A and B are shown apart, each in its own frame.
Chain A
Amino acid sequence: MKRIFAQKIIDHPWWVIGAILLITVFFASAIPKIRFEQDFEAFLPQDDPATIALHRAEERYGDQKLFMVAVETDDTIFKPETLKKLKEMEELFEQIPEVDEVRGPTNSQVIYGTETAITVAEALPEIPETPEELEEYKERVLGDRLLRGFVVSEDGKAAGILIRLKTGEEETVGVVNSVLEIAERYQGPERIYVGGMPRLNQFIAESMRKDLSVLFPVMILVIVIVLYLSFDSLRGVVLPLLTVVLSAIWEMGTMGWLGVPFTPFSFVAPIVLMAVGTAYGIHILNRYYEEAHKDGRSRREVLVETVTAMLSPTAMAALTTVAGFFALLSSTLWPQRDFGVYTGIGVIYAALLALTLIPAILALLPLPKRERQSLFARWLQGRAGLGGLARLIERTAIIILIGAGAIAVVWAVGIPRLRIETSAKDFLGKGHPVVEALDVLERHFGGSLQTGIEIDLGVRDGLKEPEVLKKIVALQEFLETLPAVRRTTSITNLVRELNQKFHADDPNYYVIPDDRKLISQLLLLFTFQGGSLGQMALTDFSAGEVIVSMEWVSSTQMAKLVEEIQKYLDQHFAPTATASAVLTSDGSLLQIKTEQVGTMPIYARLMQQIRTSQIWSLLTSVGSSWVIVSLLMGSLVAGALCIVPLVLTILTEFGLMAYLNLPLDMSTMMIGSIAIGIGIDYAIHFVERYRLEFARDRDARRALEQTFTHTGAGISYNALALTLGFGVLWISTFKGLNTFGSLVALTMVVSATSAFTVIPAILLLWKPKFLMKHAHAY
């Protein structure tokens, strides 16, 4: 069967090449269809309670995300030249077609109240020319509670321009680019920052595109170096490279045709695939050169022999790797599932292409004239290299096992310290312009993070009840005592402000009136004056939001805050508690329902999901690897033996992260499954070759040396390719991916080292029964 497959490929090379070309064209045509999904809040399952709450809030109250341009000065914004810039920028932002509303220090409405009149005016219709006019404007803006801290910082050193997009404008990247272009024009001496979620998302999308264009060529260069070190020949470099490039195209094409987006976690799938997939080409070429130098063989015979011999090992190696990646399917977060599934599919493509395209092209080329082995390869397989290592292990088997055990304990002790953390800000890292903008927003404008609490009365005009509003005021007062919360806004601020204005601006009237009719009439006035209730209330006043502006804290802190707020809500608003019911003006009882919506509960849920997903994906990948290896080798003990280096690798990864204070986040939590999927190959190759050699004459020393000098070389090339390949992610724009790349590279080294040390030590000391069984062709 294997031979027939090999013959078909070798006898019809042009058909194979033609078919692969056609399939490549088919897949390549779908690559432009791939869209980028960079919104962290979209990463939870659509049926998650936090996502459902967010979507409902967006439907009811509009976009929940903050989008702001901050202008920072060293002294004050109250200078004619700065004010002129602000005015011009506001006007230009308003010209962007997708923008619905721009609110800044010059175009915001200010409301004055006197005994006889209510005046609604633009904050700055004309640029002030005299110091008196300037001072008057400053007093007007800083004296207005609705503007101070929103569009002008309390100290007057910074100005903020809030931008609201039109409802239904999903594509924000273009808008952010327009805003950035305008901001850039006015840069200096004032420092201008564009912040908020749309900017963050635009930056991530832009960085993903940039990363892809840099990572691809660098990855190709790395592969070329590794292949050159291994084969020192043109075909040895070009053919495996061609298979991984094509498999990456096929993988992306599959995503394109299936409408799967790239996320900041899955867009590196093609890069990872190129690193992982190179191994199949290396093994096939290795075998090809071995067969080619046996005397008196024709080109056809060499190739048929190569493909027949490599079909099973390649398929099995691919299968275990795919199992490792597919284990990510147990994750509850879809970007990780996508990464696992499409890298797994890509691995299948890479194995398939290595088994078909490489022999088909080789069938058209003459046999190599001389033995191809690079200097590096000769050193590696010599006495000073792997041969020497085999002898060292033989002498120190017990020490190795004791040492490995001790190291494992040290790592395991550290693991409970491992913190779970995930935020877009952390993923980007410090020093990025977008993170700087968030910091500026935090410094001057009550935080860069906006979250909310929905107050739902379930009945028309419920939000006009004085008792309800007073309860909301109490909630706001509690929220403002929390450490990260800078300010809260709700309909109560508006009602209190209007009440004061209507009482000749007397601050004693900054309270909720006791008369429901007065509240209704004040709110009516507000809508007449052009006020938009936005998130503060629904059209029928049956529900509204308390908007919480806060510092961008860690997701661990967010989870704690969510818990603390929930405790307050349960105490004061729980449906069963009598405290949640208020007596309305007409004497009936009104129940208040509350729910946290927005960024903070989403992140809190993400934290929970990461913890659960990590445990499940690790258990699934270890379990599936054990089952597959046990089946392949016909022994549960053999399966367990191959798992040992993986367990050590996982302990090292998590232990090291804990000691280095690196968080387990959406990217680093994928490392475990990847390490198992790829690392298991080393153990399988090693154990299987050892078993084959041991079965010949039961000479453990000879079996070990043979295994090291032959299979050990393949494992070394593979580990080198993967370590350098994942190391490429070091140059990614994302700090999260830098950490991810470094840690995977480390796990590759650890799992290869464990396979080279712990497995032979166990085999030498223990000699398990499965070694006596007939070895498979694997």
Chain B
Amino acid sequence: MKAVAKFAVVVLGVALLAGAWSSHAQQALTGPQILQKVEEKGGIGGTQGELISDVKFDIIGKDKKTATNEFRFFSKRKQGEPDRLLVAFVKPDDVRGTLFLSIKPQGKDADLWLYLPALGAVKQLVNTQERKGSFAGSNLSFEDLGSGFKYSESYTADEKVTEEKIKVGDKEYATYVLTLRVKKEKEKTEDYPLRKMWVEKTEFVVLKGEGYNKTNKLETVFEALALGKFEGDTVPEKVLIKNVLDNSQTTISFLTRKRPAQPLPENLFDPNNLKNLKIDDLLKL
């Protein structure tokens, strides 16, 4: 259940994490139309082509204790081919060099492999149920990060939208405020019957989100803390995902985002080759 809740937060998060393509603001857009535009951005893997990102997770648990993880993400998306994502652990030292590989054929579940350097072995992770794990103890799950999400699969946006100005850093942005209600058939699996999201009006970047649980309490809040530019588009540089009930939170910082100078080698995404990949070499790419 909890993981499903995280899933819903990530639905909001991923849209923001995605590289956002500019589009022109339109007059009198309805909720479903705005939702569709947000979805067109896709997830982190939604960015077509190859991308290398360095990402830092600052986690504060409900016990107020902190943990920090740093990763390098290699993603490859090409029309008609499976989405590929390799995550290399950089920090802390104990887990440095641990690798996760996700290969997700279109319309199918992702296949996952894990390489633990201390064991020197690669294991396929076969998970017959919905992947619920939190990514390195954060408020995100591994598969959430690896897949694109469709809000409209589970939610219906109210036709009517309101407008509001919200601040990210020093700058104020005009946003549409969408109310999403869970579809009847998804009531059992979704933890949030109601969600709200604040969508920036020109580029349809999600700047804020809220998830209300079945007791109608606000449970999770997603917030963009800083925005930047990537290839001319507005993209998030830092986002906060917080569970307001247990006060756990994850701050995700994008340290770098770049296109690889050379095409990524094919064997980077080969499960049989995982144990040959060295973290220091990966960091040079």
Binding site for B on A (CB under 8 A): 59-62, 91, 94-95, 97-102, 109, 116-122, 125, 166-168, 460-461, 464, 502, 515-518, 520-522, 524-525, 527-532, 538-540, 542
Does B142 have its Cβ within 8 Å of any Cβ on chain A? Answer: yes
**CB within 8 Å of A: which of B100-132?**
100, 114, 116-119, 121, 123-129, 131-132
Known: A516-B94, A517-B94. 15 other contacts (CB 8 A): A94-B1, A117-B125, A118-B124, A120-B128, A121-B129, A125-B129, A461-B94, A502-B121, A518-B116, A520-B94, A521-B116, A522-B116, A530-B133, A540-B65, A540-B67
How far does the alpha carbon of A117 sit from the alpha carbon of B125 in the complex, in Å?
A: 6
How far apart are B216's CB and chain A's nearest CB, in angstroms?
9
Q: B65: which A residues are within 8 A, CB to CB?
A: 538-540, 542
Q: 10 tightest CB-CB pairs across the interface, nearest first? A: A539-B61, A520-B94, A97-B214, A530-B132, A518-B118, A540-B65, A530-B133, A119-B126, A167-B246, A517-B118
Given contact pairs A539-B63, A540-B67, A120 touches B129 in the complex (Cβ within 8 A) = yes
Binary interface encoding of chain B residues 43-75 relative to chain A, with 1 for a CB under 8 A from any of its CBs, else 0:
000000000000000011111111100000000
A528 touches B100 (CB 8 A): yes
Residues of B within 8 A of A101 (CB): 1-2
Instruction: Say yes or no: B215 contacts A97, CB within 8 Å.
Output: yes
User: What are 30 A-B pairs at a CB distance below 8 A?
Assistant: A62-B62, A102-B1, A117-B123, A117-B124, A117-B126, A119-B125, A120-B129, A121-B127, A122-B128, A166-B245, A168-B246, A464-B94, A502-B119, A502-B123, A518-B119, A520-B95, A521-B116, A521-B118, A522-B116, A524-B95, A527-B133, A528-B114, A528-B134, A529-B133, A530-B3, A530-B131, A530-B134, A538-B63, A539-B59, A542-B65
B188 to chain A: which residues have CB within 8 Å? Answer: 91, 95
A122: B residues at CB distance < 8 A: 128-129
Contact A529 B128 (CB under 8 A): no
Closest to B244 in A: A168
Q: A521-B118, A524-B98 are contacts. A120–B127 as well, Cβ < 8 Å? A: yes
Whole-angstrom CA separation of A736 from B134 in the bound complex: 47
Given A116-B124, A520-B94 in contact, is the A539-B66 Cβ separation under 8 Å? yes
Asked if B137 and A539 make an inter-chain contact with CB atoms under 8 angstroms apart, the answer reads: yes
Say whether B246 contacts A97, CB under 8 Å. no
Pick from B94, B128, B137: contact of A121, CB below 8 A: B128
Known: A109-B129, A117-B124. A527 touches B119 (CB 8 A): no
Please report the C-alpha to C-alpha distance between residue A166 and residue B247 in the assembled complex, in whole angstroms. 12
What is the CB-to-nearest-CB distance from A542 to chain B, in angstroms, rounded to a whole number? Answer: 6
Q: Is there an interface contact between B134 and A527, defined as CB atoms closer than 8 Å?
A: yes
Residues of A within 8 A of B1 (CB): 94, 99-102
Check B125–A167 contact: CB distance below 8 A: no
| Residues of chain B lying within 8 A (CB to CB) of residue A530 | 3, 131-134, 141
CA distance A531 to B124 in the complex (A): 17
Identify A118's interface contact among B98, B125, B246, CB under 8 A: B125
Question: Within the complex, what minimum Cβ distance (angstroms) separates B101 from chain A?
Answer: 12
The answer, yes or no, to whether B136 is at the interface (CB within 8 Å) is yes
Which residues of A lie under 8 Å from residue B134 when comparing CB positions? 527-528, 530
Bound CA–CA A94/B3 (angstroms): 13
Chain A nearest CB: distance from B273 CB in Å? 15
Which of B's residues lie within 8 Å of A, judged by CB? 1-3, 59-67, 89, 92, 94-95, 98, 100, 114, 116-119, 121, 123-129, 131-137, 141-142, 188, 213-215, 245-246, 248
Question: B246 to chain A: which residues have CB within 8 Å?
Answer: 167-168
CB distance from B71 to the nearest CB of A (A): 12
List residues of chain B with CB within 8 A of the CB of A525.
114, 116
List the B residue with the shortest CB-CB distance to A533: B137
Whether the Cβ atoms of B127 and A529 lie closer than 8 Å is yes
Who on chain A is nearest to B128 by CB? A121
A527 and B131 CA atoms in complex are apart in Å by 11
- Chain B residue numbers with a CB within 8 Å of A539 are 59-63, 65-67, 137, 248
Complexed CA–CA distance, A94 and B1 (Å): 8
The interface residues of chain B lying within 8 Å CB-to-CB of A532 are 2
Q: For the complex, give the distance between the alpha carbons of A165 and B246 in Å.
A: 12
Q: A124 → chain B, closest Cβ, in Å? A: 11
B137 in contact with A502 (CB, 8 Å): no
Residues A116 and B123 in contact, CB atoms below 8 Å apart: yes
A98 to chain B, nearest CB (A): 6
Closest Cβ–Cβ distance, residue B7 to chain A (whole Å): 12
In the complex the two chains form, what is the Cα distance from A763 to B123 in whole Å? 94
B135 adjacent to A515 (CB under 8 Å):
no
Q: In the complex, what distance in Å separates the CA atom of A542 from the CA atom of B66?
A: 10
Hey, which chain A residues are within 8 Å of B137, CB to CB? Answer: 527, 539
For residue A59, which residue of chain B has the nearest CB? B63
Task: Give chain B residues whose Cβ lies under 8 Å from the Cβ of A109.
Answer: 129
* Minimal beta-carbon separation of A99 from chain B (angstroms): 7
Rounded to whole angstroms, the CA-CA distance of A527 and B64 in the bound complex is 18
Which residue of the partner chain B has the closest CB to A96?
B214
Q: How far is the CB of A595 from chain B (nearest CB, A)?
A: 15
Q: How far is the CA of A591 from the CA of B114 in the complex (A)?
A: 34
Complex contacts, A540 vs chain B, CB 8 Å: 61, 65-67
CA A565 to CA B128, docked complex, whole Å: 42
The smallest C-beta distance from B110 to any residue of chain A, in angstroms, reads 13
- Which residues of A lie under 8 Å from residue B142 when comparing CB positions? 528
Question: Which among B117, B137, B142, B188 has the greatest number of chain A C-beta atoms within 10 A?
Answer: B137
- A538: B residues at CB distance < 8 A: 61, 63, 65
**Do residues A61 and B94 form an inter-chain contact, with CB atoms below 8 A?**
no
Complex CA–CA separation, A515 to B215 (angstroms)? 45
Min C-beta distance of A677 to chain B, whole Å: 46
Report B37 CB to chain A, min CB distance, Å.
Answer: 32
The answer to whether A515 and B118 have CB atoms under 8 Å apart is yes
Alpha-carbon distance between A492 and B129 when the two chains are bound, in angstroms: 26
Q: In the complex, which of the residues A461, A520, A521 has the most CB atoms of chain B within 10 Å of its own CB atom?
A: A521
A60 to B61, CA, bound (A): 9
Bound complex: CA of A91 vs CA of B246, how far in Å? 24
Min Cβ gap B26→A in Å is 38
Q: Do A167 and B245 touch across chains, with their CB atoms under 8 A apart?
A: yes
A528: B residues at CB distance < 8 A: 100, 114, 125, 133-136, 142
Instruction: For B133, give its contact among A95, A99, A531 (CB under 8 Å).
Output: A531
Chain B nearest Cβ from A162, distance in angstroms:
13
Q: How far is it, in angstroms, between the C-alpha of A167 and the C-alpha of B247 when the chains are bound?
A: 10
Chain B residues closer than 8 Å to A102, beta-carbon distance? 1
Q: Give the distance to chain B from A166, nearest Cβ to Cβ, in Å.
A: 7
Partner of A521, one of B119, B213, B248: B119
Residues in A with CB closer than 8 Å to B128 are: 119-122, 125
Chain A residue with the shortest CB-CB distance to B213: A97
- With most chain B CB atoms within 10 A of its CB, the pick from A100, A102, A121 is A100
- Determine the residue in chain A with the shortest Cβ distance to B112: A528
* Alpha-carbon gap, A502 to B128, bound state (A): 18
Q: Which residues of B contact A62 (CB under 8 A)?
A: 62
Q: How far, in whole Å, are A91 and B126 apart by their CA atoms in the complex?
A: 24
CA distance A102 to B127 in the complex (A): 19
Complex Cα distance, B126 from A460, in Å, reads: 31
Q: How far is it, in angstroms, between the C-alpha of A119 and the C-alpha of B66 when the chains are bound?
A: 30
Residues of B within 8 A of A460 (CB): 67
Q: Which chain B residue shows the least CB distance to A62? A: B62
Closest to B62 in A: A167
Alpha-carbon distance A97/B98, docked complex (angstroms): 37
Determine the chain A residues whose CB is within 8 A of the CB of B60 once the complex forms. 539
| Contact (Cβ within 8 A) A521 B67 | no
Q: Is the CB of B67 within 8 A of A118?
A: no
User: Closest approach, in angstroms, between the C-beta of B106 and any C-beta of chain A?
Assistant: 24
Instruction: Quote the shortest CB–CB distance from A456 to chain B (angstroms).
Output: 12
Which interface residue of B94, B119, B131 has the most chain A CB atoms within 10 A? Answer: B94
Residues of B within 8 A of A100 (CB): 1-2
Tell me the minimal C-beta distance from A104 to chain B in angstroms.
13
Complex CA distance for A218 and B126, rounded to whole angstroms:
65
- Within the complex, what minimum Cβ distance (angstroms) separates B79 from chain A? 29
The chain A residue with its CB closest to the CB of B66 is A540
Query: Once the chains bind, are B215 and A98 in contact (CB under 8 Å)?
Result: yes
Query: How far does the alpha carbon of A620 sit from the alpha carbon of B2 in the complex, in Å?
Result: 53
CA A527 to CA B98, docked complex, whole Å: 14
